[in-house]
């Protein structure tokens, strides 16, 4: 018995190491006072300071932020409406199954296929308007397209857990549709909406494939910048940048986890 | 036809889900100010009927008339009818005070009036100390009071209660039943209760409608329904009953247990009668009429009384004084001519 526990523990620790050592290494080299090599030469924050003096990186960071914020706001709005419409409208049973499948599709489709489809779609749209030249607008639209499905899924599961009882009670207590939405449905849905938005934000922040296929020369985001820079050479600056992105993602994931847990306890 | 009376009138209500008839041609006249109960097993359509009255469900056909006003096509938000839901369906994000105030605020009633009425409701149901708390911080019994206050604060013409006591434990339930009855009598409001618990129905109601398969099988005061069940279903659903089958001729009931006088005249030649176990008299001396000699087979202790099973039969007698009797004793039973209810169908 004891032997098995030991083996399981070792396996678990090794797996964790396998998952996290590369990330720890990146963080390690981002504060190592040397440009090359794997030997520890003392602690420094130089790479971080240099990062904030690099115009290109600052521009990429700005693009990333604009892309993530705008696409998250729009997709959260659309995803919430979609979820409410799907769950509360009395669809026939068959239609419900079809809608369910359609909603899950963007989640399970490989990014690369999705990205290629976007390229084709924007190709068509470009013949109608020059607005759809590769660039930030295209990226925002593309991100909204896949984020909406994620938001809708999260919000819908929250809708299901709220149940229809309280909404019926509200109607019974003279609440019209708007009053019901503002005073009952949306407040109860808030944890789901926030969780969905955080998920969408994280996805947008980290996305490479879809951004790569829709970006223009002026709309480089951090993941794209890192990709391009690494192809030239891995510098400690890139390590610093990666560490920052990593930290932001971790903070987001943890706060999302906390947020949903806090509400689920209630 | 007769002129409309005040109260709630249902006329030939029908509702189907697919091939299942949930409510089958139900007509009911519920008087203003009475405590009315829809009693039946689960799936008998009683909740559907309640939801139709609330306006949460639209019937396939039939009319709903409240105080002479046809409200058939009015949605729930227009009807002066409020509901206490089975799950209570309190708003988890609002305080107890705001939960109760919801129906007033949604109608844009002035704050001072809202405060006055909510406070009155809080006091009436003795939950004023909890007004700042949230539903998840309260016990089931307390939440039930909140649900009741939330509905009553609107002074509805009809209050609907959908199995409101099913989540409470037996002791609390018995207490709440009595409180509910007193509350209704004090307010003089129309209450319509849906339940599958026959004790509850007997305790609280002025009148009971027993439902089965979407139809109303019997309708009357608790005494009428309990003492004189119309058919086997009602006899067995409302407590224990001895069913005796036989034939009726020469003005008497001829059964395997003997020949009995019965007060009622059955419309059948061959059929069943029912007698409640507590109406059967048991003694050492042979009664003058409707006597049966029986042997005690089993004695079951029930706390406040005893169930005694006898042969022939099996007949069941419920009594609070068994002490002199033991298994194997021979006793005389009297089936009262008045107590035997003739069953139909």
pLDDT in tens, B159-214: 999 999 888 888 889 999 999 999 999 999 999 999 999 999 999 999 999 999 99
Helices B140-152/B111-124 angle, 10° precision: 130
Residue B20 has pLDDT above 70, yes or no: yes
Q: Which residues contact A53 (CB under 8 A, 6 or more apart)?
A: none
Q: How confident is the model at residue A266 (pLDDT cuts 50, 70, 90)?
A: very low
pLDDT in tens, A73-128: 999 999 999 999 988 888 888 888 898 888 888 888 899 999 999 999 999 999 88
Size of interface A-B (CB pairs under 8 A): 61
CA distance A89 to chain B (A): 15
Q: Best residue in A165, A166, A169 to probe B by mutation, most B CBs within 10 Å?
A: A169
Average pLDDT value for chain A: 89
Domains in chain B: ranges and CATH: 7-233 (3.40.50.300), 240-342 (2.40.50.100)
Residue B1 has pLDDT above 70, yes or no: no
Percentage of chain B exceeding pLDDT 90: 66
CB spacing of B93 vs A175 below 8 angstroms: no
Q: Which residues of B touch A183 (CB under 8 A)?
A: 102, 106
* DSSP one-letter string for B153-165: TT--SEEEEESTT
Nearest residue on chain A to B98, alpha-carbon basis: A183
Write down the domain spans for chain A: 57-265
Distance CA A185, CA A80 (A): 11
CB spacing of B102 vs A175 below 8 angstroms: yes
Residue A7 has pLDDT above 60, yes or no: yes
* Alpha-carbon separation of residue B253 from B235, B257, B340 (angstroms): 19, 10, 11
CB spacing of B106 vs A174 below 8 angstroms: yes
Distance CA B252, CA B265 (A): 9
Q: Best residue in A90, A92, A168, A174 to probe B by mutation, most B CBs within 10 Å?
A: A174
Identify the bridge partners of residue B303 per DSSP, sorted by sequence position.
Answer: none
Burial class (CB within 10 angstroms; exposed 0-12, middle 13-18, buried 19+) of A22: exposed
- Predicted pLDDT at B195: 95
Q: How confident is the model at residue A239 (pLDDT cuts 50, 70, 90)?
A: confident
- Predicted pLDDT at A1: 64
Q: Best residue in B84, B90, B102 to probe A by mutation, most A CBs within 10 Å?
A: B102
- Predicted pLDDT at B134: 95
Q: Which residues contact B332 (CB under 8 A, 6 or more apart)?
A: B282, B283, B284, B285, B286, B287, B291, B292, B293, B294
Q: How confident is the model at residue B2 (pLDDT cuts 50, 70, 90)?
A: very low
- Unique residue bearing structure tokens 């593309």: A142
Q: Which residue in the set A179, A188, A266 is minimally distant from B136, CB to CB?
A: A266
State ipTM. 0.83
B136 has a chain A CB within 8 A of its CB: yes
Q: Which residue in the set A179, A187, A188 is minimally distant from B106, CB to CB?
A: A179
Distance CA B168, CA B175 (A): 10
Residue B4 has pLDDT above 60, yes or no: no
Q: What is the DSSP letter of B126?
A: T
Q: Give the residue with greater pLDDT, B79 vs A233.
A: B79
Nearest residue on chain B to A171, alpha-carbon basis: B77
Average pLDDT value for chain B: 91
Beta strand B69-70 pairing with B252-255 = unpaired
Calculate mean pLDDT across residues B319-329.
79
Element (H, E) at B14: strand B7-17
Question: Which pTM value belongs to this model?
Answer: 0.82
Residue B268: count of CB within 10 angstroms of its CB? 12
Question: Helix, strand or coil for residue B262?
Answer: coil
B85 has a chain A CB within 8 A of its CB: yes
Sheet of B207-212, strand order:
B81-84, B158-162, B190-195, B35-39, B207-212, B215-220
Sheet of B258-260, strand order:
B258-260, B252-255, B242-249, B270-275, B341-342
Q: Which residues of A touch B76 (CB under 8 A)?
A: 168, 171-172
Q: Which residues of A touch B90 (CB under 8 A)?
A: 166, 169
Which residues, numbered 96 to 115 in chain B, qualify as contacts with chain A under a Cβ-Cβ cut-off of 8 Å?
102-103, 106-107
Query: Is residue A189 a contact partner of residue A80, using CB atoms and an 8 Å limit?
Result: yes
Chain A residues bordering chain B (beta-carbon distance below 8 Å): 163, 165-166, 168-176, 179, 183-184, 187-188, 266
Q: How confident is the model at residue A264 (pLDDT cuts 50, 70, 90)?
A: low
CB spacing of A169 vs B154 below 8 angstroms: no
Phi, psi for B82 (deg, rounded to 5):
-125, 160
Residue B41 backbone zone (phi > 0: left; psi -120 to 50: alpha; other: beta): beta
Which residues, numbered 198 to 237 in chain B, qualify as contacts with chain A under a Cβ-Cβ cut-off of 8 Å?
none
pLDDT in tens, B43-53: 899 999 999 99
- Predicted pLDDT at B197: 92
CA distance A167 to chain B (A): 8
- Predicted pLDDT at A119: 92
CB spacing of B106 vs A176 below 8 angstroms: yes
CB spacing of B54 vs A173 below 8 angstroms: no
Calculate mean pLDDT across residues B145-160.
95
Percentage of chain A exceeding pLDDT 70: 98
pLDDT in tens, B264-314: 888 898 999 999 998 998 888 888 888 888 999 998 888 888 888 988 878
Q: How confident is the model at residue B250 (pLDDT cuts 50, 70, 90)?
A: confident
Residue A3 has pLDDT above 90, yes or no: no
Terminal alpha carbon distance of chain B = 28
Residue A216 has pLDDT above 80, yes or no: yes
- Predicted pLDDT at B322: 60
CB spacing of A188 vs B87 below 8 angstroms: no
CATH entry 1.10.3720.10 includes domain A57-265: yes
* Alpha-carbon separation of residue B84 from A115, A173, B45, B81, B228 (angstroms): 52, 11, 18, 10, 31
Distance CA B136, CA B90 (A): 9
Q: Which residue in the set B56, B87, B92 is minimally distant from A172, CB to CB?
A: B56
Helices A136-162/A186-206 angle, 10° precision: 140
- Predicted pLDDT at A53: 87
- Predicted pLDDT at B3: 47
Question: What ranges in B106-216 are assigned the alpha helix state H?
Answer: 111-124, 140-152, 170-187, 198-204
Nearest residue on chain B to A190, alpha-carbon basis: B93
B144 has a chain A CB within 8 A of its CB: no
- Predicted pLDDT at A143: 95
- Predicted pLDDT at B209: 96
- Predicted pLDDT at A97: 87
- Predicted pLDDT at A45: 86
- Predicted pLDDT at A229: 86
- Predicted pLDDT at A30: 87
């Amino acid at each position: 018995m004891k032997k098995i526990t030991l083996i399981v523990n070792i396996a678990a620790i090794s797996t964790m190491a396998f998952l996290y050592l590369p990330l720890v290494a990146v963080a390690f080299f981002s504060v190592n006072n040397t440009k090359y090599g794997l030997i520890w030469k003392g602690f420094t924050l130089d790479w971080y300071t240099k990062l904030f003096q690099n115009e290109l990186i600052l521009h990429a960071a700005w693009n990333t932020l604009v892309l993530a914020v705008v696409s998250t706001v729009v997709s959260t709005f659309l995803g919430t409406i979609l979820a409410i419409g799907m769950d509360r409208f009395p669809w026939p049973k068959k239609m419900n199954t079809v809608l369910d499948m359609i909603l899950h599709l963007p989640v399970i489709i490989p990014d690369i296929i999705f990205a290629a489809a976007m390229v084709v779609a924007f190709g068509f749209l470009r013949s109608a308007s020059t607005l759809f030249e590769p660039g930030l607008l295209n990226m925002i639209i593309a991100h909204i397209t896949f984020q909406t499905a994620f938001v809708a899924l999260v919000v819908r599961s929250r809708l299901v857990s709220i149940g229809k009882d309280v909404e019926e009670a509200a109607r019974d207590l003279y609440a019209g549709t708007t009053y019901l939405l503002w005073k009952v449905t949306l407040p109860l849905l808030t944890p789901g909406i926030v969780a969905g938005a955080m998920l969408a934000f994280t996805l947008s922040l980290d996305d490479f494939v879809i951004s790569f296929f829709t970006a223009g020369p002026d709309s480089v985001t951090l993941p794209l910048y890192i990709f391009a820079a690494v192809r030239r050479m891995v510098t400690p600056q890139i390590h610093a940048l990666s560490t920052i992105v990593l930290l932001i993602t971790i903070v987001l994931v943890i706060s999302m986890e906390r947020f949903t847990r806090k509400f689920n306890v209630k | 036809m007769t002129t409309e009376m005040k109260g709630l009138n249902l006329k030939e209500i029908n509702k189907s889900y697919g091939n299942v008839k949930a409510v089958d041609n139900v007509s009911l006249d519920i008087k203003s100010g009475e405590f009315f109960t829809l009693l039946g097993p689960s799936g008998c359509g009683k909740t559907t009927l309640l939801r139709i009255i609330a306006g949460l469900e639209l019937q396939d056909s039939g009319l709903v008339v409240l105080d002479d006003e046809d409200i058939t096509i009015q949605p729930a938000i227009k009807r002066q009818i409020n509901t206490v839901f089975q799950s209570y369906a309190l708003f988890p994000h609002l305080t107890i005070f705001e939960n109760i105030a919801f129906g007033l605020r949604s109608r844009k009633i002035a704050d001072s009036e809202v405060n006055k009425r909510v406070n009155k409701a809080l006091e009436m149901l003795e939950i004023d100390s909890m007004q700042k708390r949230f539903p998840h911080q309260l016990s089931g019994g307390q939440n039930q009071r909140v649900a009741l206050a939330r509905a009553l604060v609107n002074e509805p013409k009809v209050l609907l209660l959908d199995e409101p006591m099913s989540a409470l434990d037996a002791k609390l339930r018995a207490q709440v039943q009595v409180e509910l009855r007193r509350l209704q009598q004090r307010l003089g409001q129309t209450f319509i209760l849906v339940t599958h618990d026959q004790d509850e129905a007997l305790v609280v109601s002025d009148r009971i409608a027993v439902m089965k398969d979407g139809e109303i099988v019997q309708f009357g005061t608790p005494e009428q329904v309990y003492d004189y069940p119309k058919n086997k279903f009602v006899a067995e659903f409302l407590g224990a009953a001895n069913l005796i089958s036989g034939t009726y001729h020469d003005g008497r009931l001829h059964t395997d247990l003997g020949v009995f006088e019965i007060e009622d005249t059955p419309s059948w030649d061959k059929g069943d009668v029912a007698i409640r176990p507590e109406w059967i008299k048991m003694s050492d001396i042979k009664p003058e009429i409707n006597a049966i000699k029986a042997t005690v087979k089993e004695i079951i202790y029930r706390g406040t009384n005893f169930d005694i099973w006898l042969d022939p039969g099996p007949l069941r007698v419920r009594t609070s004084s068994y002490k002199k009797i033991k298994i194997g004793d021979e006793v005389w039973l009297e089936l009262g001519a008045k107590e035997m209810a003739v069953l139909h169908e």
